[in-house]
Structure 1
Amino acid sequence: MPQLNPSPWFVILIFSWVIFSAIIPPKILAHLFQNDPSSQSAKKSGAKSWGWPWH
Protein backbone atom coordinates (compact mmCIF):
# COMPACT_ATOMS: atom_id res chain seq x y z
CA MET A 1 0.00 0.00 0.00
CA PRO A 2 1.77 3.18 -1.11
CA GLN A 3 -0.47 5.40 1.06
CA LEU A 4 1.28 4.14 4.19
CA ASN A 5 4.73 5.18 3.00
CA PRO A 6 5.43 8.35 5.04
CA SER A 7 8.46 9.58 3.12
CA PRO A 8 6.80 11.77 0.45
CA TRP A 9 3.94 12.94 2.70
CA PHE A 10 6.18 13.92 5.58
CA VAL A 11 8.19 16.24 3.33
CA ILE A 12 4.97 17.80 2.02
CA LEU A 13 3.77 18.28 5.61
CA ILE A 14 7.01 19.95 6.68
CA PHE A 15 7.10 22.29 3.65
CA SER A 16 3.48 23.29 4.11
CA TRP A 17 4.07 24.11 7.80
CA VAL A 18 7.13 26.16 6.89
CA ILE A 19 5.07 28.13 4.39
CA PHE A 20 2.15 28.64 6.78
CA SER A 21 4.29 29.60 9.79
CA ALA A 22 7.19 31.55 8.27
CA ILE A 23 6.13 33.09 4.97
CA ILE A 24 2.44 33.95 5.27
CA PRO A 25 2.32 35.69 8.74
CA PRO A 26 4.73 38.53 7.85
CA LYS A 27 2.69 39.24 4.72
CA ILE A 28 -0.52 39.41 6.75
CA LEU A 29 1.04 41.54 9.50
CA ALA A 30 2.42 43.99 6.93
CA HIS A 31 -1.12 44.81 5.76
CA LEU A 32 -2.08 48.45 6.28
CA PHE A 33 -5.64 49.58 6.87
CA GLN A 34 -7.05 52.26 4.59
CA ASN A 35 -8.86 54.03 7.45
CA ASP A 36 -7.77 54.49 11.03
CA PRO A 37 -10.12 52.30 13.09
CA SER A 38 -9.60 54.33 16.29
CA SER A 39 -10.90 57.61 14.84
CA GLN A 40 -14.54 56.47 14.75
CA SER A 41 -14.57 55.27 18.34
CA ALA A 42 -13.82 58.79 19.64
CA LYS A 43 -17.27 60.07 18.61
CA LYS A 44 -20.20 59.43 20.92
CA SER A 45 -23.63 58.96 19.48
CA GLY A 46 -26.36 61.34 20.60
CA ALA A 47 -28.87 58.60 21.36
CA LYS A 48 -31.31 59.42 24.14
CA SER A 49 -32.21 56.96 26.86
CA TRP A 50 -35.58 55.27 27.09
CA GLY A 51 -37.88 57.42 29.25
CA TRP A 52 -40.79 55.07 29.84
CA PRO A 53 -41.11 52.98 32.99
CA TRP A 54 -40.74 49.23 32.65
CA HIS A 55 -43.80 47.17 33.68
Structure 2
Amino acid sequence: MPQLNPSPWFMILLFSWLVLITIIPLKIMKHTITNDPTMLAAMQPEIEPWNWPWF
Protein backbone atom coordinates (compact mmCIF):
# COMPACT_ATOMS: atom_id res chain seq x y z
CA MET A 1 0.00 0.00 0.00
CA PRO A 2 1.71 3.23 -1.08
CA GLN A 3 -0.22 5.35 1.45
CA LEU A 4 1.79 3.79 4.27
CA ASN A 5 5.15 4.69 2.78
CA PRO A 6 6.21 7.74 4.86
CA SER A 7 9.09 8.75 2.65
CA PRO A 8 7.40 11.27 0.29
CA TRP A 9 4.73 12.40 2.75
CA PHE A 10 7.14 13.09 5.57
CA MET A 11 9.22 15.46 3.43
CA ILE A 12 6.05 17.23 2.26
CA LEU A 13 4.97 17.62 5.89
CA LEU A 14 8.35 18.99 6.95
CA PHE A 15 8.52 21.42 4.05
CA SER A 16 5.01 22.70 4.63
CA TRP A 17 5.73 23.28 8.34
CA LEU A 18 8.96 25.00 7.44
CA VAL A 19 7.04 27.40 5.20
CA LEU A 20 4.33 27.98 7.79
CA ILE A 21 6.75 28.63 10.64
CA THR A 22 9.42 30.73 8.89
CA ILE A 23 8.21 32.46 5.74
CA ILE A 24 4.58 33.31 6.43
CA PRO A 25 5.11 35.06 9.83
CA LEU A 26 7.85 37.20 8.29
CA LYS A 27 5.50 38.32 5.52
CA ILE A 28 2.73 39.09 8.01
CA MET A 29 5.00 41.10 10.30
CA LYS A 30 6.16 43.32 7.41
CA HIS A 31 2.68 44.80 6.99
CA THR A 32 2.22 48.28 8.38
CA ILE A 33 -0.78 49.49 10.31
CA THR A 34 -2.37 52.41 8.50
CA ASN A 35 -4.44 53.68 11.42
CA ASP A 36 -2.39 54.40 14.52
CA PRO A 37 -4.50 53.42 17.55
CA THR A 38 -2.52 55.65 19.95
CA MET A 39 -3.70 58.81 18.19
CA LEU A 40 -7.34 57.89 18.79
CA ALA A 41 -6.72 57.15 22.46
CA ALA A 42 -4.96 60.50 22.99
CA MET A 43 -8.02 62.57 22.05
CA GLN A 44 -10.31 63.34 24.98
CA PRO A 45 -13.98 63.93 24.20
CA GLU A 46 -15.47 67.19 25.37
CA ILE A 47 -18.15 66.50 27.94
CA GLU A 48 -20.88 69.10 28.23
CA PRO A 49 -23.70 68.80 30.74
CA TRP A 50 -27.20 68.68 29.33
CA ASN A 51 -29.51 71.56 30.07
CA TRP A 52 -32.73 69.90 31.27
CA PRO A 53 -35.46 72.54 31.29
CA TRP A 54 -37.86 70.36 33.32
CA PHE A 55 -35.45 69.36 36.06
Same fold (TM over 0.5): yes
Shift of 1:42: 2.2
* TM-align CA RMSD: 1.8
The equivalent residue for 1:9 is: 9
| Dislocated runs of 4+, deviation >2 Å | 42-47
TM-score, scaled relative to structure 1: 0.71
Percent sequence identity is: 53
Unaligned stretches of 5+ residues in structure 1: 48-55
Q: Deviations over 1:7-26 (max 9, x none)?
A: 01000001001100111111
Larger radius of gyration: 2
TM-score, scaled relative to structure 2: 0.71
Number of residue pairs aligned between Structure 1 and Structure 2: 48
